[in-house]
Structure 1
Amino acid sequence: MRRLDRWLFLVVLLAIVGGLGFLSSRHAWTADWTHGARASLAPESDAVLRALDGPVDVVGYLSPTGPLREQVAAVIERYTRAKPDLTLSFVDPDLDPAASRQLGIGGDGALIVRYRGREQRVESPINERNLSNALERLARGGERVVAFVTGDGERQADGRANADLGIFMGQIEKRGIRAVPLNFSQTQGVPEHTDLVVLASPLAPLPARSVQALVDYVRDGGNLLWLTEPSNDDLGTAPLADVLGIRILPGVLVDGQGSTLNVRDPRIVVLGDYPFHAITRAFRDTTLFPQAAALAQVSAHDWAVVPFLRSGERSWTAFGGIDNDKPSTVAFHPENGELKGPLDFAFALNRLSPSPAKSEQRAVVIGDGDFLSNTYLGNGGNRALGERIVDWLLGDDVLVNLPSRGAPDRAIALSQDGLGAITLGFLVALPLLLLGIGTGIAWRRRRR
């Protein structure tokens, strides 16, 4: 009887093992137990894949000798888990020299991604970041041209000075956006096929010719990003503000809310909550805006105007000079005409496009350009917010809500109790433990 029970147990065990083997050949299940799910796709890569609603073909022009094919396959395996209709194939460039020459493939090979008749080359090295950038360019539908007005002290798109936008533009150029200079002293107007014009904080008054060119561009249906400053209300840009139906309020926006985050200068507006708009939907990162100007909508227009950046209850527009050594001593003086917050300092505008070639026209006016500068770009979610603004202006709504990029452990979130436990452990418990161990060792040696 016992022998029969043993045979039955063996048969059942073999049946279970065989069933598991059969199921594993048809169904795959994986679990990522690494910290921050580092063995899986990052959230932004997963979001890009969801934006591609058709099959994606990845072709690796790589030699069968060497480790590159295995490395590429390991990277692509993460993508196929999230998107089963993403396929990978390899071509030996030595067996297809004509295609290799046409694609400009050198001795190190290349990785080409194809989607709906378009293709993008993955930059070297071949990793998740560069592959996701290529997929995002495909989701965008082609390269977009962003023209930056130059010639009057504006922030430079390729500049490396503290006030310039070189780092920000260097990041978004990898996502299929090309920045070009636009000097109205050298051209009659905005060139055709320009997707967006950026006027970034000019220092000198704009010539009437330049202002009129911008006004004509907006009236003809062009998209505009205007980064203004507290001192920019007297630079001859009133006609541009009129065509947009907005006004730059005098004074510098100050806000005491930043003191809760150890920001001692009230001229730096710190935001963690945002009015609802497509740009700020599900956006929860903290952003910093140094010396912003408040804005107001002053006249009825055919624009739909929505504020998406707003100061807190403890804010106001400060007139006159502020002591740089003691900025926190600035006080509210309503008798001087200073306005109490909350105050809007960024507007998103849209309307039916006057151009028959476009369905909608969009514009964004922000009372601060420093938040995208090389100095402040790395603070909180400044870069992520800037990317959302540019994506929305370009009409790439599907890309606006992509999660911000960055390492999952770039910030440590500790409660006050957790911080107290760590402090007690390292400053009290650990020294006492070491002292006790040392005392015990010394006592045992003396007994010998």
Structure 2
Amino acid sequence: MHTAFKRRLTYGTNVLAAIALALALVVMANWIARKYPRRHDFLQTSDLYQLSPKTKSVLQSLDQDIRFYVFSNPQDSELYSRLERLLKAYQVESPRISFEMTDQVRDISRMRQLVREFGVDEPDTVVITYGDRKKLLTEMDLAEFNFRLNDYTGGQIKELRQLKAEQAITSAILELVNPRKIIASFTVKHGEKSIYGYDDNGLTDAKRFLDRDNITPEPIELVGMSEIPVTNCDILVVAGPTRKFLDTEVNLIRRYLNSGGHALIMLDPRIESGLEQLLPEYNLKVGNNVVVDPERQIPGAGPLQLVVGLYRDHPITSKLQTFTLFFLARSISVLDEANNVNVAAPVALTGQRGWGETRSELDTFKHDKGADLDGPVSIACAVENQKTGMRLVVFGDSDFASNRDIGTGANRDLFMNSVNWLVKREMLVSIGPKTVAEMKRLNLGQAQLRLITIMVVLVVPSCAAVAGFFVFLARRR
């Protein structure tokens, strides 16, 4: 009797110890998971929820809490479910991040409370708060959609095409953390592309991208100015002038650069801007040519449509992984690669078989050795003066930043990376939108459905029963 009791006591103690150990392991695993959180999406084939190094760097530098209020719309459940998963990825990178999803239909009282608190006009909105500052993002900031006709109702069906949430959210965080606006001054009165132009030749899309990165584009008229103030002009932008700058204006730009200014200059071929004689002072030569590359052309587009996919190892282009598109470009070359004062480097080039065509006729192109510029030909160069802090980026084309072309390939990233490098924000590697892969529906016929039913209902249970029967026979022996 005593032995049986002792055996039961020992057995019970072992069971309790095992349970306690299991609970301890669960608690420890939970503590480790919370202290060192990691996420991996095994089901997604895309990188929709993988944050960029830019975003991670921004999140790791936060010194105050940031809270997101998401007013979710049941009609766009796909967008908001993806947004929720993305915000969870933000939380993993920083304990400073928190968010609240508010259903506009189910949580009407909470919705009204937040609308009064933040003064929200649009229902499909994300409010981001940082201390006493706030930033609003709309649905159009977060995503791009395709619209198609519903064959049954005649109405429109909205389908999620691209997710832009990461670039919008990270830029909003930057704006909240660093409220000082960066001013990009665009020269006017020389036929330049306009930041207010909505046509194909305008720069309203470029303006929108600048605004998103907390950079304010403003026009600047140089005539009548005594100086370009470095403190009120973080970047001077010359966007494809069609008329010549006055000598006094060129001198203004010279003094601005020599005092440590930053400039983005885009010059189209066959047009004399007056800056061609200025840029050699900064170790650059503007070619009097049109760049062609027979090996890198869009079928049917002609030789004037230049596809560039060769980039040098420079902060502007180090992360670019796809082509950029230029239309009617000229060469921008480094004069002296050994120059240690104005250090210049090409950033985008043609292939080896490209060249700079010097003939004035643009109907036919033929590489003339000795007369034309041999490839690879540089389309863009960057210059830096370590002593004065001057930075300069020059492109041999302005169309790549226009409304027509900025959304093509890596054009937007090239433009924004150039701007961010000019204002010394190298850590802000451009975040592009992520294409949402189409969900594939598996359509099965009746025979396939019957086969699956038989397998699940009959075959699998029968196999288990047969295995159990053989185990029973083995135990009987």
TM-score range, shorter chain: 0.7 to 0.9
The 3 A distance-change label for structure 1 pair 308 and 16 is: same
Q: Which residue of the partner structure matches residue 89 of structure 2? A: 78
Q: Distance in 2 between matches of 1:214 and 1:225?
A: 11
RMSD over aligned CA atoms reads: 4.0
Q: Which residue of the partner structure matches residue 281 of structure 1? A: 318
SS in 1 for 2:435: coil
Q: Which residue of the partner structure matches residue 380 of structure 1? A: 409
Query: Which stretch of structure 1 is more off in the superposition, 261-270 or 6-15?
Result: 6-15
Q: Distance in 1 between matches of 2:196 and 2:17?
A: 70
SS in 2 for 1:383: helix
Contact kept? 2:46, 2:437, Cα under 8 Å: no
SS in 2 for 1:334: coil
The 3 A distance-change label for structure 1 pair 285 and 106 is: closer
Pair 1:58-2:66 in alignment: yes
Q: Which residue of the partner structure matches residue 405 of structure 1? A: 433
The 3 A distance-change label for structure 1 pair 398 and 30 is: closer
The 3 A distance-change label for structure 1 pair 193 and 118 is: farther
**5+ unaligned residues in a row in structure 2: which ranges?**
1-7, 75-79, 102-109, 143-164, 439-477
Amino acid at match of 1:351: N
The superposition leaves residues 53-73 of structure 1 with CA deviations (integer Å, 9 ceiling, x where unpaired) of: 23441245799xx9xxx9897
SS in 1 for 2:257: helix
Q: Distance in 2 between matches of 1:241 and 1:407?
A: 40
The 3 A distance-change label for structure 1 pair 197 and 74 is: same
SS in 2 for 1:159: coil
Task: List aligned pairs for 1:129-278, cutoff 5 A.
Answer: 129=166, 130-138=168-176, 142-185=180-223, 187-191=225-229, 192-232=231-271, 234-259=272-297, 262=299, 264-278=301-315
Identity, in percent, stands at 19
The 3 A distance-change label for structure 1 pair 25 and 224 is: same
Deviation at 1:42, TM superposition (A): 4.3
The 3 A distance-change label for structure 1 pair 110 and 279 is: closer
**5+ unaligned residues in a row in structure 1: which ranges?**
355-359, 411-448
Amino acid at match of 2:214: G
Q: Distance in 2 between matches of 1:262 and 1:12?
A: 74
Q: Distance in 2 between matches of 1:42 and 1:338?
A: 46
The superposition leaves residues 70-129 of structure 1 with CA deviations (integer Å, 9 ceiling, x where unpaired) of: 989776433112223434589x999999x95xx767797973443xx7945132349634
TM-score of the superposed pair, with normalisation by structure 2 = 0.68
Match of 2:378 among 314, 319, 344: 344
Q: Which residue of the partner structure matches residue 332 of structure 1? A: 367
SS in 2 for 1:349: strand
Amino acid at match of 2:435: A
Deviation at 1:176, TM superposition (A): 0.4
Deviation at 1:294, TM superposition (A): 1.1
Deviation at 1:277, TM superposition (A): 1.2
SS in 1 for 2:174: helix
Query: Which stretch of structure 1 is more off in the superposition, 127-136 or 220-229?
Result: 127-136
Pair 1:290-2:311 in alignment: no
Q: Distance in 1 between matches of 2:348 and 2:70?
A: 48
Match of 2:135 among 121, 138, 149: 121
Q: Distance in 2 between matches of 1:352 and 1:213?
A: 21
Contact kept? 2:320, 2:413, Cα under 8 Å: no
Amino acid at match of 1:241: L
Which of the two has higher C-alpha Rg? 2
TM-score of the superposed pair, with normalisation by structure 1 = 0.72
The superposition leaves residues 276-314 of structure 1 with CA deviations (integer Å, 9 ceiling, x where unpaired) of: 112122322211222211123346672111111122111
Match of 1:35 among 32, 44, 49: 44
